[in-house]
A and B are shown apart, each in its own frame.
Chain A
Amino acid sequence: MRLELYLDLLSQPCRAVYIFAKKNDIPFKLCTTEVFKGQLLSKEFFQINRLRKVPVLKDGDFILTESSAILIYLSSKYQTADHWYPSDLQARARVHEYLGWHADCIRGTFGVPLWTRVMAPLIGVPVPEEKVQRNRTSMDRALQQLEDKFLGDRAFLAGQQVSLADLMALEELLQPVAVGYDLFEGRQRLAAWRERVEAFLGSDLLQETRGPILNILEQAVNKKVPNPPPEVYPYMLLRISRIP
């Protein structure tokens, strides 16, 4: 039975998993599960993940959630190149150090602009400017720490080679960029890092992965974003209410 990956490419962690699997030629069946079409709420998906989230990995009977856990699992099972998840004790610790901080300071924060600029207005629930500003401040703070503490004068976030840390960070940072907020502007070190990571991953793969997220702003402008089905609304409203 083939490895299955349940992904919505609008989601940052899903893109990280997709890119990793593709870049490493890991054979899998893509089970696209679209959040805004209510597909997380289906009975079938509930059997896959009761927490109703993506990404999910299904390897035979083994079901795994959490993007970082999935990435580590894939790197171990398919014995990917060492730099992704180094075997060296201290180098590996650096990856985990980044992933821990990422969970607190990146996740939840960089996804907000998609909501403030596209999804909340789509369902007629605009987010107050005060919250937009607060989110900007949070992103700025995180980006400063990213540049100073994690990147420093190194080529990549956890060392001198691309690792899982860079993949996770890149797709998160891309989210606001995709909806028109260029957070790389005025941040040369981060922009240079981005270029290095993207050069390593390859533009074809990135274009393929980012199709949906790069299109969504244009779709929104042309009023072509499909209306989410009613059963998704409570979840969307909950997410919007959680924006600090």
Chain B
Amino acid sequence: MKNGIPFELRSVELGRGEHLKPEFLKVNPLGKVPALKDGDFLLAESVAILLYLSRKYHAAAHWYPPELQACARVDEYLAWQHTAVQLPATNIYLCKSLLPYFSEQSVDPVCLDRLLGKLKPALQHLDREVLAAKPFLATEELSLADLMAFTELMQPTAVGCDVFQDWPRLAAWQARVEAALGPELVRDAHRLVLQPRDPRDAQRDPKLAQELVQRLLERLS
């Protein structure tokens, strides 16, 4: 959106199990979002998609710099963040929002606490080491690293787990990134995750709800 790239948004509602249906599996057999379809070219994986879009649509250099070492720093963050940030942050979101919603039970505080603990090392590293040395996560300017981190950390935050509260540099960075992206765009992108869920939606398909609960419990154990 920020780069004025024309695209058609196809919503795939995970809460309705749409990612498990055959029509979507044709687009991404891995059954995951995001997925890109450019003519006959199908592409999965958020990092791969971001890099593809940056390059194809000639996004401004700061997103993914051409210089060898600057580019390496972005690659380094994008690689590290899978297990250090994305996984724990997503799990917090699942524990705080999706699981209670589908299981119709309240949030498990022990589980939530454990999961918050798993994100802490990354937050500490970013706040105390990375952002102590520079204003953004990979280079001196906003890059794909910041974009990935911003959205990953918004996920738990948007459902009430303020992961920034103990980390002043990280909080300042978050504000900086939001300002650079534009608050309206950020709000728009996070519209669904910011709004409370409709409790009636969950029980529209009890069998699906049960399956999703099963998968979630396994993942979060």
Contacts and interface: CB of A to CB of B under 8 A. Distances in A.
Contacts of A66: 75-76, 79-80
Contact of A77 (B47, B68, B76): B68
Interface in A43-78: 50-51, 62, 64-69, 72-73, 76-77
A56 B178 CA distance: 32
B68 A101 contact: no
Given A68-B75, A107-B83, A100 B29 contact: no
Nearest to A59: B69
A67 B41 CA distance: 27
Interface residues of B, number: 30
B48 A64 contact: no
B30 interface: yes
A205 interface: no
Q: Is the interface of B mostly helix, strand, loop or mixed?
A: helix
Interface string B70-95: 01110110111011000100000000
B46 interface: yes
Contacts of A73: 68-69, 72, 75
Given A65-B80, A66-B80, A107-B83, A97 B44 contact: yes
The main secondary structure of chain A at its interface with chain B is helix
Given A68-B75, A100-B82, A51 B125 contact: yes
A204 interface: no
Interface residue range, chain A: 20 to 34
Contact of B79 (A68, A89, A101): A68
Nearest to A67: B79
A152 to B, nearest CB: 10
B187 interface: no
Contacts of A72: 71-72, 75
B166 interface: no
Interface string A146-175: 001100000000000000000000000000
Contact of B30 (A64, A92, A93, A101): A101
A96 interface: yes
Interface string B49-69: 101100110000000000011
Interface centre among B43, B69, B72, B125 (most CB of A within 10 A): B72
A65 B76 contact: yes
B45 A96 contact: yes
B198 interface: no
A72 B77 CA distance: 13
Interface in B105-128: 125
Interface in A166-222: none
Interface string B138-173: 000000000000000000000000000000000000
B51 A96 contact: yes
A89 B52 contact: yes
A103 interface: yes
B221 interface: yes
Contacts of B52: 89-90, 93, 96
A129 interface: no
Contacts of B30: 101, 145, 149
Contact of A100 (B47, B76, B125): B47
A62 B79 contact: no
Contacts of B29: 145, 148-149
A6 to B, nearest CB: 15
Interface string A230-244: 000000000000001
Nearest to A242: B118
A121 interface: no
15 contacts: A65-B80, A69-B72, A72-B75, A76-B68, A89-B52, A90-B52, A93-B41, A93-B51, A94-B48, A96-B47, A100-B46, A101-B44, A103-B82, A107-B82, A145-B29
Interface of A: 50-51, 62, 64-69, 72-73, 76-77, 89-90, 92-94, 96-97, 99-101, 103-104, 107-108, 145, 148-149, 244
Interface of B: 29-30, 41, 43-49, 51-52, 55-56, 68-69, 71-73, 75-76, 78-80, 82-83, 87, 125, 129, 221
